[in-house]
Amino acid sequence: MKIAVLPGDGIGPEIVAQAVKVLEALRGDGLKIEMEYAHLGGAGYDAAGDPFPPATEKLALAADAVLLGAVGGYQYDTLPRPMRPEQGLLRIRKGLGLFANLRPALVYPELVHASSLKPELVSGLDIMILRELTGDIYFGQPRGIRTMDNGERQGFDTMLYSESEIRRVAHVGFQIALKRAGKNGQGKLCSVDKANVLDTSMFWREIVTEVAKEYPAVALSHMYVDNAAMQLVRAPKQFDVILTGNIFGDILSDEASMLTGSIGMLPSASLDAHNKGLYEPCHGSAPDIAGKDIANPLATILSVAMMMRYTFARVDIAQRIETAVRKTLQQGLRTADIAEAGMQKIGCAAMGDAVVKALS
């Protein structure tokens, strides 16, 4: 298992260090794991003047999987856009062809009360958001700021999806729905768009409907994105797999993450067509708490579990990591972000140690 490790910025290095502890423990158990480090985001800019330096690209291309912390920091906010940390993230996604972004929103029984919604609305919640990650208005050309004939300036972007882009991510969505179909055998996939207004969405809906014919065991529904945003806070448990484009997925996945009350718990996977993947927590670099040993490393550790499941097809190890995380929660161990009033809080490194201990 060749893993490129990109700690990134802010709390990135400290949370990644905990995930690396887990990988090292697994290596101690005989897994053949190779790890090599490189810079991404602000760290790339500082080290090489580029948020996605060539050395990082080379390492990431050669690896089977990439483990990423997070990117971004106040000190980079005034840089010209190509130099900003976020560009490093967008370029690595595009450069590695990571079009399928899996963002689970899972409520842990121990953390039900962390949600801002009533416990009965979220208890047992288990949604998988599949966000298309390398197309849409994020990457569509032309874009820019231009001056019109009348002298007025105008900002513009292009929302764009080609048939093959929609088709390949739809297949991933239906396959995930099939895999998740429980004992009742019915997988559910809700495709989210804005087909009542956007041509891109009308086309999206047409192609997804076509692909659905190959998956008769999956129940396909369609929903407009504004309604989906509302339904997610009204009755989130109606959803199983949500399939959507890049920009809608960006927004809905942030919303869904908060249903769980603990964005510090949520991992993500971004996959190419051959299960090569980049794994990162859903949360950001949290520069305000960087270096204080109070960040929650569980999302990053759970991202390693996703890596084992999707890139290395080692469901057994994925489950072992997930079980260890559950155990630490059951032991009452909490970082500050998920601690209820009166609970004792532990730091980032102590949480990493606790998970490693619970692995055995």
> Binding of ligand IPM at residue 110 (CB under 6 A)?
no
Catalytic residue among 76, 136, 194, 240: 194
How far, in whole angstroms, is CA 244 from its chain's centroid?
Answer: 14
Give the shortest CB-98-to-ligand IPM separation in angstroms: 11
Neighbouring C-alpha atoms within 13 Å toward the C-beta of 282: 30
- Tokens 């900003």 label which residue? 84
Element spanning 207, H or E: helix 199-212
Burial grade of 17 (CB within 10 A; 0-12, 13-18, 19 or more)? middle
- Choose the one of Mg ion, ligand IPM, none that binds residue 126, judging by a C-beta under 5 to 8 angstroms depending on kind: none
What is the dihedral sign for C-alpha 313, 315, 321, 322?
A: positive
CA–CA gap between residue 325 and residue 299 (Å, rounded): 10
Give the shortest CB-284-to-ligand IPM separation in angstroms: 7
Q: What is the largest CA-CA distance in the chain?
A: 70
CA–CA gap between residue 350 and residue 249 (Å, rounded): 33
> Binding of Mg ion at residue 250 (CB under 5 A)?
yes
Q: Which is nearer to ligand IPM, 250 or 272 (CB)?
A: 250
Q: Which is nearer to ligand IPM, 134 or 296 (CB)?
A: 134
Within residues 260-299, the interface with Mg ion by CB under 5 A covers none
Question: DSSP states of 144-189 as a string?
Answer: EEEE-TTS-EEEE------HHHHHHHHHHHHHHHHHH--TT--EEE
Q: Which is nearer to Mg ion, 214 or 254 (CB)?
A: 254
Contact window for Mg ion (CB under 5 A) among 45-53, 144-152, 249-257, 337-345: 249-257
Catalytic residue among 45, 76, 108, 138: 138
Decide if 285 contacts 137 (C-beta within 8 A). Answer: no
Give the shortest CB-46-to-ligand IPM separation in angstroms: 18
Catalytic residue among 29, 199, 254, 292: 254
Give the shortest CB-191-to-ligand IPM separation in angstroms: 19
> Binding of Mg ion at residue 255 (CB under 5 A)?
no
Contact window for Mg ion (CB under 5 A) among 116-124, 243-251, 255-263, 267-275: 243-251
> Binding of Mg ion at residue 86 (CB under 5 A)?
no
Decide if 212 contacts 218 (C-beta within 8 A). Answer: yes
> Binding of ligand IPM at residue 86 (CB under 6 A)?
yes
Give the shortest CB-266-to-ligand IPM separation in angstroms: 11
Pair type for strands 2-8 and 65-70: parallel
CA–CA gap between residue 229 and residue 255 (Å, rounded): 8
Q: Which is nearer to Mg ion, 56 or 268 (CB)?
A: 268
Contact window for ligand IPM (CB under 6 A) among 85-93, 119-127, 194-202, 352-360: 85-93
Catalytic residue among 199, 226, 292, 357: 226
Give the shortest CB-271-to-ligand IPM separation in angstroms: 14
∠ CA 252-68-140, nearest 5°, is: 50
Size of the site for ligand IPM (CB under 6 A): 4
Binding site residues, Mg ion, CB under 5 A: 250
Q: Interface residues with ligand IPM (CB under 6 A)?
A: 86, 89-90, 250
Q: Which residues are catalytically annotated?
A: 138, 194, 226, 250, 254
